[in-house]
Chain A
Amino acid sequence: MEYERKFKIGEPILEVNNISLSFGGVKAITDTSFNVLEHEVRAIIGPNGAGKSSMLNCINGIYKPQQGTVSFKGKQIPDITPNIMAQMGLSRTFQNLALFKRMSVLDNILVGRKLHTKTNFLEVALQLPKVKKEEKLNRDRSEEIISFLEIENIKDTPVGKLPYGLQKKVELGRALATDSSIILLDEPMAGMNVEEKRDMCRFILKVNDELGTTMVLIEHDMGVVMDISDRVVVLDYGKVIGDGTPDEIMANQKVIDAYLGVEH
């Protein structure tokens, strides 16, 4: 039974054109291009060291590629910084968890509401009525996300004290709190057990389905990738070796070779 999507997959929202990135003499990414369509779940896969995380870091502006451009929402962005991308509606999570360790779960998610906070420090210091109003709106939205992710019981715990799987959830929550149109997830299920992975998949699909948020994820678990993504791009040694639907990828000889090795 073909399932009906509330948000139909649309035009490209993010385009990566001929990106090349090297660190000194080491080439991380070579002339890579692919696109992400609006409302889709897009996976980036590849063996270790294929340049997947570097790719996300280029898109998000943490790394500056030597060559190539990134276009977001139809605009080519000349000088990408994480801040500019955040303001344009792109949020992300990190491979090695980049949470605010000494802050509570709720506070972490509230930081995700930063771009929906317009009051300045003086107004906050004086607790003007509009600050209270804004804070309440942000808190309500954060609580919504917390109950969506089913982590109400830990919302006041400092995240540094939480187990890995829960921290990954909090990081997803923080990215969700930005109400971005696209979220980059860097290995959201690494180190999780089957049950936690299933939960995470459910959250990712639910967000994509209910809010129409475009999801770009890096993941190693092939089963998961093939199950939840609309399209997959495969990187190997910093180059695209396959791009298409999960079925196409599974039939792609180059991809099979890259993963299983090939006799020379």
Chain B
Amino acid sequence: MKPVFMTYTKKDLINLAVCMVLSVLVIPTFITTEYWYTSILIPWLCLALATIGQQVVMGYTGQLALGAAGFMAAGAFAMFNLILRVPDLGFVGSLIVSGLIAAAFGILFGLPSLKVRGIYLMVATLASQFFIIWMIDKFGWFKNYDSSGIITAQDIVILGKPFTTPLAMYFVCLAVTTVLTLLAMNMARGSTGRNWMAVRDMDIAAESMGVSLLKTKVQAFAISAFYCGVAGALFAFCYLKSLEPVAFDIKLSFKILFMCILGGLGTINGAFIGAAFILLFPVLLNSVGNNVFHGAIDATIISSIEQVIFGGLMIIFMIYEPLGMAKLWENIKQKISLKFQSSNVKDLKSSLSKKS
């Protein structure tokens, strides 16, 4: 398909338009309960953004990394300190600088990827997870010597206007996520993404074509950490509204890893699908438990069942569709369009036979 605008095809532009109309017009008009914004939409956007970061390093560059939450913590606490100590930067400026600080950590912890690979790299990258959290806990300066352990995040103020209602915060997250997603797509489809994938698929051949392994891997780790850092800042300021290192523990890293794998490695839309699935699935199970069984099942049992179903689905997915839900979605669309085509052909044939 020929690109009509930049590197985008007509189909991409339609998709983008549909997403924008849905998220900017439809959702704000039809969803009025705060719960949806504060507990579902905002964390979804934040985690999808972090998952894009994980996709860059794992899905596109093929480096098994586990420690996205560590970079998120770096971003979140950098944001807190920047707003506290350098108020002139403003919210957007602080957000970008937080991302850059996280990216610096990404470069540092991405360096082992030059020597080790696969599961060993995964273990090496775990260091980022533990080191960053330890550092924040150890040095009181990062938490502004707050003794309680949980710091309240500052209010979001952009250009003098406060963004404190759930809807306003949703729009902040949406704007940041949209911009960064588009940038990620541009990279993934352009020469940058080709270098990443070349390193993923066959590093020795990539090197023989002039792709520098050092540069490409470090770049991927930096970009990944930048996305995670920005996502972490948004996660803390829009969703948690507080900052505590425990919120960015290894469980969150695993969650992002699962979102990445379930969504589909090496896809950007997979990041959104995977994040939605992992966030919404417990909500769905809960409401099924409450509405269908009317509380007959104990809440603790429901949460156990959730884990069981979750693990089962993970295994089923890995066996039947290792390319994830993005691929599944693609297949469904293809089947529908094929059905359409074949029914069109039938119509044509029947109309022809009628004529004759």
Partners in one complex: yes
Q: Is the CB of A91 within 8 A of B208?
A: yes
Q: How many residues of B contact A (CB 8 A)?
A: 28
Residues of B within 8 A of A121 (CB): 187, 192, 219, 223
CB atoms of A127 and B7 under 8 A apart: yes
Q: If A110-B194, A111-B195, A114-B195 touch, does A126 touch B183 (CB 8 Å cutoff)? A: yes
Task: Find chain A residues with CB under 8 A from B186 CB.
Answer: 124-127
Whether a CB of chain B sits under 8 angstroms from the CB of A86 is: yes
Contacts of B190 in A (CB 8 A): 124-125, 127, 131, 135
B279 close to chain A: CB less than 8 A: no
Q: Name the one of A125, A126, A127, A178 contacting B210, with C-beta atoms under 8 angstroms.
A: A178
A255 to B25, CA, bound (A): 79
Among B187, B190, B192, chain A packs the most CB atoms within 10 A around the CB of B190
Interface assignment of B212: CB less than 8 Å from any CB of chain A: yes
Q: Which of A100-108, A218-226, A230-238 contacts B (4 or more CB under 8 A)?
A: A100-108
Q: In the assembly, what is the distance between CA of A167 and CA of B186, in Å?
A: 28
Among B187, B202, B210, B212: residue with most chain A CB under 10 A: B210
Residue in B191, B207, B208, B223 with the greatest tally of chain A CB atoms within 10 Å? B208
- Whether A1 is near chain B, meaning CB under 8 Å from some CB there, is no
Q: Cβ of A103: which chain B residues have Cβ within 8 Å of it?
A: 194, 197-198, 201
- Closest Cβ–Cβ distance, residue A72 to chain B (whole Å): 14
Q: A100-B198, A111-B198, A127-B7 are in contact. Are A81 and B204 (CB under 8 A)?
A: no
Closest to B199 in A: A100
| Given A99-B202, A103-B201, A125-B186: A82 and B208 interface contact (C-beta under 8 Å) | yes
A135 and B207 contact, Cβ closer than 8 Å, known pairs A100-B201, A100-B202, A127-B6? no
With contact pairs A114-B191, A126-B183 given, residues A178 and B209 touching in the complex (Cβ less than 8 Å): yes
Minimal beta-carbon separation of A164 from chain B (angstroms): 16
Chain B residues positioned under 8 Å from A178 (CB to CB): 209-210
| Separation of A85 and B200 alpha carbons in the complex (Å) | 21
One digit per residue, 1 when the CB lies within 8 angstroms of any chain A CB and 0 when it does not, for chain B 212-256 equals: 100000010001000000000000000000000000000000000
Known: A110-B191, A124-B190. A87 touches B197 (CB 8 A): no
Q: Taking CB as reference atom, which chain A residue is nearest B6?
A: A127
A262 at interface, CB cutoff 8 A:
no
Please tell me which one of the listed residues A60, A113, A124 contacts residue B192 in the complex, with CB atoms under 8 A apart: A124
Please encode chain B, from 167 to 208, with 1 for each CB lying within 8 Å of some chain A CB and 0 for all others.
000000000000000011011001110110110111011111
Q: Is B211 an interface residue (CB 8 A)?
A: yes
How far apart are the CA atoms of A82 and B183 in the complex, in Å? 31
Q: Decide if B266 is an interface residue (CB 8 Å cutoff).
A: yes
Which residue of B195, B200, B201, B212 has the most chain A CB atoms within 10 A of its CB atom? B201
Identify which of B183, B192, B202, B205 gathers the most chain A CB atoms within 10 Å of its CB.
B205
A114→B190 CA distance, assembly (Å): 11
Q: Which residues of A contact B204 (CB under 8 A)?
A: 62, 82, 94, 98
Known: A125-B183, A135-B7. A107 touches B194 (CB 8 A): yes
What 0/1 readout, one digit per residue, does chain A (134-170) give for beta carbons within 8 Å of chain B? 1100100000000000000000000000000000000
Q: Within the complex, which residue of B194, B205, B210 is in contact with A98, where a contact is CB–CB below 8 Å? A: B205
Determine the residue in chain A with the shortest Cβ distance to B191.
A117
CA distance A110 to B210 in the complex (A): 12
Contact among A83, A111, A127, A134 with B194 in the assembled complex (CB-CB below 8 Å): A111
Report if A91-B209 is in contact (Cβ < 8 Å); known contacts: A121-B219, A127-B186: yes
Distance in Å: Cβ of A184 to nearest Cβ of chain B: 9
Binding site for B on A (CB under 8 A): 60, 62, 81-83, 85-87, 91-92, 94, 98-103, 107, 110-115, 117, 119, 121, 124-127, 131-132, 134-135, 138, 174, 178
What are 13 A-B contacts defined by CB distance under 8 Å?
A: A94-B204, A99-B205, A100-B198, A100-B201, A102-B200, A110-B191, A111-B194, A114-B194, A115-B209, A124-B190, A132-B7, A135-B190, A174-B209
What would 18 more interface pairs be, CB under 8 Å, given A83-B208, A126-B183, A127-B190?
Answer: A82-B208, A91-B208, A94-B204, A99-B205, A100-B197, A100-B201, A101-B202, A102-B200, A107-B194, A110-B191, A110-B194, A113-B191, A115-B209, A125-B184, A125-B186, A127-B7, A135-B191, A138-B191
